[in-house]
Amino acid sequence: MTFKAPTITALEKGKDYLQIGTFSKSESVTRLIDSIKPAYPIAVQSVVVGTGTVYRVLIGPLSADEAGVILVGFRAAGFPDAFVRTGK
């Protein structure tokens, strides 16, 4: 699947990412990416779950300080379930 953002298989070790959505349909991923300001680094992580694939839309990699500030902004902008993931 090709998106307007890089597709990654793993998060960078020690780096923070803001997960703003998880989708099973690529069209939903594309709509979300198109709605985000281009100032943010966006990545899509594809994860095999059972017999299907889900796509995590992530902002990052970010420093811990950036992640906290951007998390507050995204939650206020209508993403109440957004959270920070850290690469291991």
Task: Say which residue the tokens 């099973």 belong to.
Answer: 24
Q: What residues does each domain of the chain span?
A: 7-86
What is the arithmetic mean of pLDDT over 11-36? 93
pLDDT digits (tens, 9 = 90+) for 41-78: 999 999 998 989 999 999 999 988 889 999 999 999 99
1 has pLDDT over 70: no
pLDDT at 3 over 90: no
Tell me the pTM.
0.90
User: In CATH, what number does 7-86 get?
Assistant: 3.30.70.1070
How far, in Å, CA of 54 to CA of 45, rounded? 8
What integer pLDDT is reported at residue 35 of this predicted model? Answer: 87
Name the burial class of residue 16, with classes exposed (0-12), middle (13-18) and buried (19+) by CB atoms within 10 angstroms of its CB. Answer: buried
Burial of residue 69 (CB within 10 Å: 0-12, 13-18, 19+) is exposed
83-86/42-49 β-pairing: unpaired
